[in-house]
Structure formats: C-alpha cells, structure tokens
Structure 1
C-alpha cells in the first residue's frame, strides 16, 4: 500500500502561500477543496468558479463545438446560481471569484492575476469516447499552467 504524499511545499521547500482551487461544484471538486484545506491550512486560499460561456454551443462531429446564439437570460441565471453556490462553499477565511468564459483559460487567468503558486482541481472519470472528443480540463490545466497543478481524484473513482 502506498502512503499519500505530503504537498505542503514546492520543490525548493518553500511553502505554498497562495492556493487557488478551481471548482465546478461537483463531488470531485468538493473533495479537491477538502484536500486543499487539509494540506494547506496556512495558505491563502481562493475558490474560483468559471461559468462556462460555451453552454450555448452544441458538439459537432469533429470533436469541437458549434456556437449557438448566446442567450443572455440563461447566462445570467447560471452566473446567479454560481455566485450563490460559491458564497455557500467558501469558508470565512477564503476568497472567492466568479468568472465567465472557458473554464481552463479562466482558472489560468485567475491564478496569474492573483499570484497563485499552486492550483488545485478535482478530476472526473470520463468514458473513453467522451475523453477522446472533449479531453480533460485538468489535463489542459496541467499542460498550460506555469505554476504547479495538484489534481485530486475522488476516492473510489475509476480511471
């Protein structure tokens, strides 16, 4: 049996001071937040949710999306719901930020503007076909982030 790694510092031994946690309000994201709170209790923590502006797009046969007419009322409703959920989720000692756009780009931009030295996100188990066409937001974050990204799998999840 392997022991869980301790990630309270970066590779130079410097403690992580500014930890950004991306959330989509899923069980995996909630677990990642719990891990971040446990592993980095002394760090400043900022929860970020990005309302996906692509909700008005439909998947196409080539693995991309075809934009549909943006429905401002739908986007407003999603923003309001995200804002309420973020307020409930954030602890009193945590900051929270709600953005609109592409979730991967939004988290990366928020991390850069805030000066995060670590990003924490949950991972979702996807079927092979869904992963092939859509990829993984966590994988995209890891590939594009200039700061370390800690991906946290929900216990009992499949690969």
Structure 2
C-alpha cells in the first residue's frame, strides 16, 4: 500500500477535493473555530509551575534574568512603568518573591494591550543566601537584586562522580 492511499485527496488525482478549497461554509467555520482554540491554548503557560504564580503572558511576569558567580546570585527583573513603591521583594526559605501591582494610567475606556493588575513571581534560588547583605537597586524599569551566597552553604555542595 502506498502512503498516498491513506490521504483522502491523494487517491485519484493528487488534488484536494473542492470542500478543502474554502467553498464549504461549514468547513470554513470549523477551521476558524480550530484556529481560535489553537490561539487561545497557545497563550497558556505550559512550563513548570515554579516559573511564576501569575502568568499573563507565556512565561511569567515580570521577566527575569538570573546570573550566578561563585559568591553571589544576581536577579534582574524588567518592570517597566513601575516605581520602587509599587514592588515588594521578599526572601523566605531560599525563595525570592517579587510582588506588586501595576495600575492603569487611564480610566479604562480606551483599548489597551498593556498588562495591569497584581502580580507575584516566586523564584527558587537553590542556595542559602546571606539575608543581611542582600542589596536591591531600581533604575530605568529594572529591579536588580544582589544576593550573596552563604559561604557555609557553598561548602555543603558535594560533586558526585559519574562512572560506567
């Protein structure tokens, strides 16, 4: 059996039947409904729940960049249009929490694709940090946190050799 025999329009003349050309209104409606569901489902976050509790976009908000050195972690969060007073930063059990609220600047009668509302983002650090030495700065819509690693926690890390 040829693979083309399994395709409904490949049996006769390798052309799609007329219902696939868009002349059937029910098929057109069916395609539009499928497209609507595909677009809607694509907007949900399918990654790990630790990515963030609230996700108005596809990967959590605010977007973060995390870098690590031997002595510290640096977390930079993009929070455009916000001020320091709108953001709360918490550190508990080696989990960094960013939360706050972005308020609308208009009365809500205009069309807007911008995000407004409350947000919370939990970021597991994976290291014990020195709470009293954590520093936070805010400039140009970027919140930057410097979290020094606890030297005792660093020494607890043990490398496990892999053998055959």
Q: Shorter-chain TM-score: what band?
A: under 0.3
Using CA pairs under 8 Å that are at least 6 residues apart, name the structure with larger relative contact order, 1 or 2: 1
Rg comparison, structure with higher value: 2
User: Which TM-score applies when normalising by structure 1?
Assistant: 0.22
